[in-house]
Structure 1
Amino acid sequence: MGHALTGWRVETADALRHGQDGGTLIEYLGSAPFLSTVFENWESEFLQMAAYVVLTAFLIQKGSSESRDPGAPPRDADLETQARKAGAPAPLRWGAFARAVYSRSLGLALVILFLASFILHWTQSARAAAQEALEHGEAATGTIAYLADPQLWFESFQNWQSEFLSTAVLVVLSIFLRQRDSPESKPVAAPNDQTGD
């Protein structure tokens, strides 16, 4: 709500400076400038979480509570046998392909959400840029051509860098710092070189 209300006020003020009507909040909620910023933010969140989930399956950071313990036995070995356990998710019993997809479904879902958000950010940013170009008497760039526009990538990269910075800081700080009773932290008395929780 804060994003919508403050964005609407900014857009209304900008329209009034140009001698135009600012429009209603409902109109703003369907506008390209608003939708572009919504999906720009969602895109970076889903990219961060997809990278985090997939990379933590392969990479290890010694001493980090955010990393799996390299000495621990694999927890997802022999999924065919585990499928027979009581309470095991049904897709594990649907065959090898279903097990392969289901065993990676969280990462796949996050990648799909990232791609959908990126496409919506891109198309709405292209729409907003075309509207702005027309308001200034310039030729509008098409949606496909806008994919090469530095503005789109500036919007994306400024968000991506903050997401990856925050994840890297969490991984590194979790080596040395603790948060009592948090599942994101090692136990308070754990040594700094303990990997995992």
Structure 2
Amino acid sequence: MNAAKKKGLAAASGFWRRNSLSLVLLALFGISLFGQIAAGRAVLDRERIEHGQPPLDWGEYFRHGQFLSATFENWESEFLQMGLYVLLTVWLRQHGSAESRKVEERNDGTEEEGGREIEPGPTPGPVRRGGAWAALYANSLSIALLSLFALAFAGHVYGSWRQQVEQAQREAQPVPSLSEHLGSAQLWFESFQNWQSEFLAVLTLVVLSIWLRQAHSPQSKPVRAPHAQTGAG
């Protein structure tokens, strides 16, 4: 094997190693989304046939309220959970939890890095520019997550409304307007049932990480660490 080919294989191997976590999660996301689409389309087609309507092709299904509502309803709750969690961990603490900053650590900017070492390397451009750019960059993670939540919520509202419109037309009932659907119990039932499960999952991780461990995981404290130790660092 020549040197160039060896170098190429080494670079490819290094890429997979450096990005293995995101690549595996992306693959799991893709598999799960495909499963949702296949099962959801089968369920919808069965319902349509029962009501004397033809099945939908793939393009029609991707524009259908069932797909839009189910997909964005779940994304919405995930982005809300992550966005709020990022913000809440700035100010709030949980003694003994690996998911919390140290209880005595201040959040006035004097210990912004939480005692973590910064590896050598170029400082991000917005930080070098300072001013509004630096301030925006300093909060960019929560801004991005909550913006994604807003977009997903809008997609959920629209998809859920389209689904209600189709059901009302099928049953010869009055068709709700988008604003009427926005204030409906159905929409908020769909949202709150997902939101509560996300907050429960985060609460469980925060509390269980006080006493339980997972060796080699950054989400866990060191196995030998005392229960009272806060934070993984």
Deviations 1:74-100 (A, max 9, x none): 1349xxxx9xx8511000122321111
Q: Distance in 1 between matches of 2:134 and 2:111?
A: 16
Q: Distance in 2 between matches of 1:52 and 1:6?
A: 32
Determine if the alignment matches structure 1 residue 4 to structure 2 residue 37. yes
Q: Distance in 2 between matches of 1:145 and 1:2?
A: 32
Q: How does 1:185-196 map to 2 (within 5 A)?
A: 185-196=220-231
Q: Distance in 1 between matches of 2:162 and 2:121?
A: 52
TM-score, with structure 1 as normaliser: 0.92
Greater CA deviation, 44-53 or 126-135?
Answer: 126-135
Secondary structure at the residue paired with 2:154?
A: helix
**Aligned-residue offset at 1:145:** 1.5
Given the alignment, which residue of 31, 47, 50 partners 2:80? 47
User: Size of the alignment, in residue pairs?
Assistant: 191
In terms of fraction of residues, the more helix-rich structure is 2
Are the aligned partners of 2:213 and 2:221 in contact in 1 as well (CA < 8 Å)? yes
Letter in 1 for 2:227: N
Equivalent pairs: percent with the same residue?
45
TM-score, with structure 2 as normaliser: 0.78
**Aligned-residue offset at 1:27:** 1.8
Given the alignment, which residue of 122, 137, 141 partners 2:172? 137
Secondary structure at the residue paired with 2:52?
A: coil
Are the aligned partners of 1:5 and 1:25 in contact in 2 as well (CA < 8 Å)? no
**Aligned-residue offset at 1:71:** 3.7
Secondary structure at the residue paired with 2:225?
A: coil
Q: Distance in 1 between matches of 2:82 and 2:97?
A: 17
What does residue 173 of structure 1 align with? Answer: 208
Deviations 1:51-89 (A, max 9, x none): 111111111100000001134571349xxxx9xx85110
**Structure 2 unmatched runs, 5+:** 1-33
**Structure 1 unmatched runs, 5+:** none
Greater CA deviation, 25-34 or 60-69?
Answer: 25-34
Deviations 1:13-45 (A, max 9, x none): 111111221222332122111111100000000
What does residue 123 of structure 2 align with? Answer: 88
What does residue 67 of structure 2 align with? Answer: 34
Q: Distance in 1 between matches of 2:130 and 2:229?
A: 37
Letter in 2 for 1:163: E
**Aligned-residue offset at 1:139:** 1.2
What does residue 119 of structure 1 align with? Answer: 154
What does residue 102 of structure 1 align with? Answer: 137
Q: Distance in 2 between matches of 1:76 and 1:194?
A: 18
What does residue 191 of structure 2 align with? Answer: 156
Letter in 1 for 2:193: Q
**Aligned-residue offset at 1:116:** 0.6
Are the aligned partners of 2:64 and 2:162 in contact in 1 as well (CA < 8 Å)? no
